[in-house]
Amino acid sequence: MSKSSIDKALTPEKFENLKTKTPPINSAGLGGLKAATTHAIKYIKPSNILKISKNLNQKGGFDCPGCAWPDPDDDRSSLGEYCENGLKAMAEEMQNKLINREFFANNSVDSLAELSDFEIGKSGRLSEPMFLPEGATHYQPISWDDAFAKVAEHLNALNNPDEAVFYTSGRTTNEAAFLYQLFVREYGTSNLPDCSNMCHEASGSALSETLGIGKGSVTLDDLYKAELVIVVGQNPGTNHPRMLSALEKTKKNGGKIITINPLPEAGLIKFTDPQNPIKMLTGGTKLSDVFVPITINGDVAFFKALLLKLLEKEEDTENVFDRAFIEEYTNGLEDFISDLKTFNFNDCLAASGVSRETFDEVFDLVLNKNKIIICWAMGLTQHENAVDNIRELVNLLLLKGSIGKEGAGTCPVRGHSNVQGDRTVGIWESAPQAFLDKIEAKYGFKPSPKHGYSVIDAIKAMYEKKAKVFFGLGGNFISAVPDTAYSAQAMANCNLTVHVSTKLNRSHVVTGKEALILPCLGRAEKDYQKTGVQTQSVENSMGVVSSTKGVLEPCSDTLMSEVAVVCGIAEATLKGRSKINWLAYRDDYNLVRDDIAEVVAGFENFNTKIKQPSGFYLPNGARVRDFKTKTGKANFSINKLPDWKLKEGELVMMTIRSHDQFNTTIYGLDDRYRGVFNERRIIFMNREDMKLRSLEEHEVVHLKSEHNGVIRKANNFKVVGYDIPKNCCATYFPETNVLVPLDSFAHTAKTPASKSVRITVEKC
Ligand SMILES: Nc1nc2c(c(=O)[nH]1)N[C@H]1C(S)=C(S)[C@@H](COP(=O)(O)OP(=O)(O)OC[C@H]3O[C@@H](n4cnc5c(=O)[nH]c(N)nc54)[C@H](O)[C@@H]3O)O[C@H]1N2
Ligand SMILES: Nc1nc2c(c(=O)[nH]1)N[C@H]1C(S)=C(S)[C@@H](COP(=O)(O)OP(=O)(O)OC[C@H]3O[C@@H](n4cnc5c(=O)[nH]c(N)nc54)[C@H](O)[C@@H]3O)O[C@H]1N2
Ligand SMILES: [Mo]
**Consecutive H or E run containing 187:** helix 174-187
Confidence band, pLDDT 50/70/90 cuts, at residue 283: low
Average pLDDT over residues 118-141: 96
Q: Whose CA is nearest to atom 17 of ligand 2?
A: 480
* Cβ of 239 less than 6 Å from ligand 1: yes
Q: Where are the domains of the chain?
A: 5-24+648-763, 201-413
Distance CA 84, CA 96 (A): 19
Mean pLDDT to the nearest integer, 10-28 = 87
pLDDT value, residue 281: 47
Indicate if the alpha-carbon torsion angle 694, 484, 99, 475 is positive or negative. Answer: negative
Q: Which ligand 1 atom sits closest to the C-alpha of 378?
A: 19
Ligand 2 atom closest to Cα of residue 481: 47
In angstroms, what is the C-alpha Rg of the chain?
25
- The CATH class that applies to domain 201-413 reads alpha beta
- Cα of 739 vs centre of ligand 3, distance in Å, is 19
The mean per-residue pLDDT over the stretch 159-167 comes to 98
Nearest ligand (C-alpha, residue 753) = 2
**230 strand-pairing partners:** 258, 374
pTM for the whole structure: 0.96
> pLDDT digit string (tens) for 412-451?
999 999 999 999 999 999 999 999 999 999 999 999 999 9
Nearest CA to ligand 2 atom 21: 475
Ligand 2 binding pocket includes 67 (Cβ within 6 Å): no
- Containing 7, the helix (H) or strand (E) segment is helix 5-9
The pLDDT > 70 percentage for the chain reads 96
Lowest mean pLDDT among 150-159, 237-246, 297-306: 237-246
| Ligand 2 near 732 CB (within 6 A) | no
Which atom of ligand 2 approaches the CA of 562 most closely? 38
Find out whether the beta carbon of 741 lies less than 6 Å from any atom of ligand 2. Answer: no
Instruction: Please give the pLDDT value at position 272.
Output: 67
Lowest average pLDDT, out of 67-81, 484-498, 651-665, 748-762, goes to: 67-81
Ligand nearest to the CA of 502: 2
Point out which residues pair with 760 in neighbouring strands. 704
Q: Is 83's C-beta closer than 6 angstroms to any atom of ligand 1?
A: no
Cβ(665) – ligand 2 distance below 6 Å: yes
Longest dimension (CA), the chain: 76
Query: Which pLDDT does position 28 carry in this prediction?
Result: 62
Confidence of residue 9 (pLDDT cuts 50, 70, 90): very high
Identify whether the C-beta of residue 117 lies closer than 8 Å to the C-beta of residue 479: yes
Residue 574 has pLDDT above 60, yes or no: yes
List the single range of 35-49, 265-279, 330-344 with lowest mean pLDDT.
Answer: 265-279
Q: Is the CB of 505 under 6 A from ligand 2?
A: yes
Specify whether the CB–CB gap between 451 and 479 falls below 8 A.
no
CATH ID of 5-24+648-763, from 2.40.280.10, 2.40.40.20, 3.40.50.2000, 3.10.20.740: 2.40.40.20
Ligand nearest to the CA of 752: 2
**Cβ of residue 390 lying under 6 Å from some atom of ligand 1:** no
- Whether residue 166 is predicted with pLDDT greater than 70 in this model: the reply is yes
Q: Whose CA is nearest to atom 23 of ligand 2?
A: 664
Residue to mutate (ligand 2; options 67, 171, 499; most atoms within 8 A of CB)? 171
Mutate to test the pocket of ligand 1, among 39, 64, 67, 242 (most ligand atoms within 8 A of CB): 67
**Closest C-alpha among 451, 447, 450 to residue 438:** 447
CA distances from 31 to 84, 236, 274, 361, 675 (A): 9, 16, 9, 32, 13
Rounded average pLDDT over 510-518: 98
| pLDDT value for 64 | 81
Residue 75 has pLDDT above 80, yes or no: no
- Predicted pLDDT of residue 279: 54
pLDDT for res 29: 59
Question: Among candidates 424, 421, 428, which has minimal Cα distance to 537?
Answer: 421
Q: What type of residue is 231? A: V
Q: In sequence order, which residues have a C-beta less than 8 Å from that of residue 613 and are 6 or more positions away?
A: 59, 60
Q: Which atom of ligand 1 is nearest to the CA of 235?
A: 20
In the reported structure, the alpha carbon of residue 479 is separated from the centroid of ligand 2 by a whole-number distance in angstroms of: 8
Ligand approaching nearest to the C-alpha of 566: 2
234 lines ligand 1 (CB under 6 A): yes
**Nearest ligand by distance to the CA of 412:** 1
pLDDT in tens, 519-573: 999 999 999 999 999 999 999 999 999 999 999 999 999 999 999 999 999 999 9
**Pairwise CA distance, residues 591 & 354, whole Å:** 55
Taking the centre of ligand 1 as the mean of its atom positions, its distance from the CA of residue 417, in whole angstroms, is 15
Q: Is residue 480's pLDDT more than 50?
A: yes
The per-residue DSSP string of 289-333 comes to SEEE-PPTT-HHHHHHHHHHHHHHHHHHHS-SS-HHHHHHHEE-H
- Go through 605-614 and write b for each residue having 16 or more CB atoms within 10 A of its CB, e for each that does not: ebbebbeeee
Residue 340: per-residue pLDDT? 98
Residues facing residue 237 across a β-bridge: none
Q: Is the pLDDT of residue 282 over 80?
A: no
Mean pLDDT of the chain: 94
Total residue count of the chain as it appears in this document: 764
Q: At residue 599, does pLDDT exceed 50? A: yes
**Dist CA 653 CA 693 (whole Å):** 16
Contacts of residue 692, Cβ cutoff 8 Å, sequence gap at least 6: none
Mutate to test the pocket of ligand 1, among 302, 303, 657, 731 (most ligand atoms within 8 A of CB): 657
**Percentages helix, strand, coil for the chain, rounded to the nearest 5?**
40, 20, 45
| Å from CA of 280 to ligand 3 middle | 31
Of 127, 383, 476, the one to substitute when testing ligand 2's pocket (max ligand atoms within 8 A of C-beta) is 476
**CA gap 602, 591 in Å, rounded:** 17
DSSP 8-state assignment for residue 382: S
Could you say which DSSP state residue 648 is in? T
